[in-house]
Amino acid sequence: MAVTMKKKITPKDMNPKALLATDDTVRQIDLGVLIGQANGVTTSVSQQGEVLEGLTGRFKFQPFKDGKPSGDPLISYVLWLPSGMGTDLFELPREKEPVEFAFIMSAHKAENPAGYEWGMKPLLEAAAADPLGALEAKVAQTGALPDPDAGAALPAPDAAPAASKAKDKATA
């Protein structure tokens, strides 16, 4: 399975209109899994003059067919969500905290001009990312560092310089 790198992942890439091609008994379909680590917010102006917000970071959308992963996953550094969806995701990157998330994106039949509305089912609770902690856990598996879950984690950033200065004075 190849990976498709895109300039941006948009709602259109998630193919919500696939729901409209189903028979009338089908009320909703899962479109795929969207995972990401957002570290910023970007804006754009629509053709109608509306200001749109998107996320910057690292994102992957794995399309589904018949409720199962199918086709090539899409990878991008920019994500545009459907209007009004995931608004809480936009707050943490504004505070300079990267946020990790994972959702199943779905489409539900609706009585509106589009014929569908969006759904997002969380697979993980959106939370601040800890890239250094994740790297530390991987290095700990090699035995080069103590296991961070065992309580012997690296010192806090502000504690490390103080400990280093004390050591420097002791050796002088």
* pLDDT at position 57: 93
- Do 3 and 34 touch, CB atoms closer than 8 A? no
pLDDT at residue 39 tops 60: yes
Domains in the chain: how many in total? 2
* pLDDT at position 83: 81
168 in the same domain as 97: no
151 in the same domain as 112: no
* pLDDT at position 9: 96
117 in the same domain as 36: yes
159 in the same domain as 101: no
119 in the same domain as 44: yes
* pLDDT at position 62: 96
Interval 52-62 mean pLDDT: 93
108 in the same domain as 149: no
90 in the same domain as 140: no
85 in the same domain as 39: yes
108 in the same domain as 153: no
- pLDDT tens-digit series, residues 150-166: 655 555 555 445 544 55
Tokens of 148: 């961070």
144 in the same domain as 91: no
118 by Cβ neighbours in 10 Å (0-12 / 13-18 / 19+) ranks as buried
- Do 124 and 104 touch, CB atoms closer than 8 A? no
Q: 164: domain range? A: 130-172
- Do 105 and 120 touch, CB atoms closer than 8 A? yes
Backbone angles phi, psi at 47, to 5 degrees: -60, -25
- pLDDT tens-digit series, residues 87-141: 777 776 666 778 899 999 999 999 999 999 999 999 988 888 888 888 888 888 8
CA distances from 150 to 7, 145, 156, 158 (A): 41, 11, 16, 21
Which spans in the chain are helix H?
91-94, 131-141, 159-171
Interval 30-34 mean pLDDT: 95
User: Burial code of 73-91, b = ≥16 C-beta within 10 A, e = fewer?
Assistant: bbebbbbbbbeeebeebbe
